[in-house]
């Protein structure tokens, strides 16, 4: 039986490019969660007025990939100490967040954050929110496979490609192919 978890770690293009390569991930879907407006658009979310975060919904096979492993990858892909931003991307839509769908996901998220705080993995406190997923709104179609379809895009070259290269080196044993 498959599971889903929804993660916000800045721009969803970075998360999508990484998670779609992980063995055990069956599907990734960019979208929006945690806001108050029905069916928000990218432009509305980017304005900061809807309260949504840019997120990636990850559908995975728990016998091949555990929630803990997904969260370890997630925390390696972004800086969970930055409030409402990731690098130059600033706004509540870029907040670090975990939208859980099961009590186990919530427990593991709390456990991993507590471990990282105890071990002082980061120089600053972790600000990742842990919230029950109330509603996931899929992003517009043009966001799917964005990095693959737009390799020459300046943002992809400056931000996404270096992040994905580091990801591939760090998690090579977990990748397909």
3-state secondary structure of 51: coil
The pLDDT, as a whole number, for residue 23 is 93
Q: Residue 152, Cβ neighbours under 10 Å: how many?
A: 6
Q: Residue 159 maps to which CATH number?
A: 3.30.1060.10
In contact, 86 and 78? CB cutoff 8 Å? yes
The pLDDT, as a whole number, for residue 44 is 96
Residue 168 CB-half CA count within 13 A: 12
Q: In which domain, by residue range, is 96 found?
A: 3-175
Active site residues: 11
Question: Which residue positions in the chain have pLDDT lower than 50?
Answer: none
Give φ, ψ of 52 to 5 degrees: -80, 155
* DSSP single-letter state for residue 22: B
The pLDDT, as a whole number, for residue 5 is 98
The pLDDT, as a whole number, for residue 13 is 78
Q: Residue 62, Cβ neighbours under 10 Å: how many?
A: 14
The pLDDT, as a whole number, for residue 177 is 61
The pLDDT, as a whole number, for residue 98 is 98
The pLDDT, as a whole number, for residue 124 is 94
H helix and E strand count, the chain: 7, 8
Sign of dihedral through CA atoms 20, 3, 40, 109? negative
Q: Residue 136, Cβ neighbours under 10 Å: how many?
A: 16
pLDDT digits (tens, 9 = 90+) for 51-84: 999 999 999 999 999 999 999 999 998 899 999 9
| Number of domains into which the chain is organized | 1
């Amino acid at each position: 039986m498959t599971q889903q978890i929804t993660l916000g770690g800045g721009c969803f293009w970075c998360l999508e490019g990484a998670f779609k390569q992980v063995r055990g991930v069956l599907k990734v879907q960019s979208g929006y969660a945690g806001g108050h407006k029905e069916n928000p658009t990218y432009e509305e979310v980017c304005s900061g007025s809807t309260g949504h975060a840019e997120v990636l919904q990850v559908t995975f096979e728990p016998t091949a990939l555990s929630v803990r492993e997904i969260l370890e990858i997630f925390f390696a892909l972004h800086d969970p100490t930055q409030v409402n931003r990731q690098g130059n991307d600033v706004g509540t839509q870029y907040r670090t967040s975990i939208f859980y769908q099961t009590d186990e996901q919530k427990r593991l998220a709390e456990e991993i954050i507590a471990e990282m705080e105890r071990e002082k993995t980061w120089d600053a406190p972790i600000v990742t929110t842990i919230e029950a997923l109330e509603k996931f709104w899929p992003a517009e179609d043009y966001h799917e496979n964005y990095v693959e379809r737009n390799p020459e895009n300046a943002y992809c070259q400056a931000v996404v490609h270096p992040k994905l290269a580091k990801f591939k080196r760090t998690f090579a044993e977990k990748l397909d192919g």
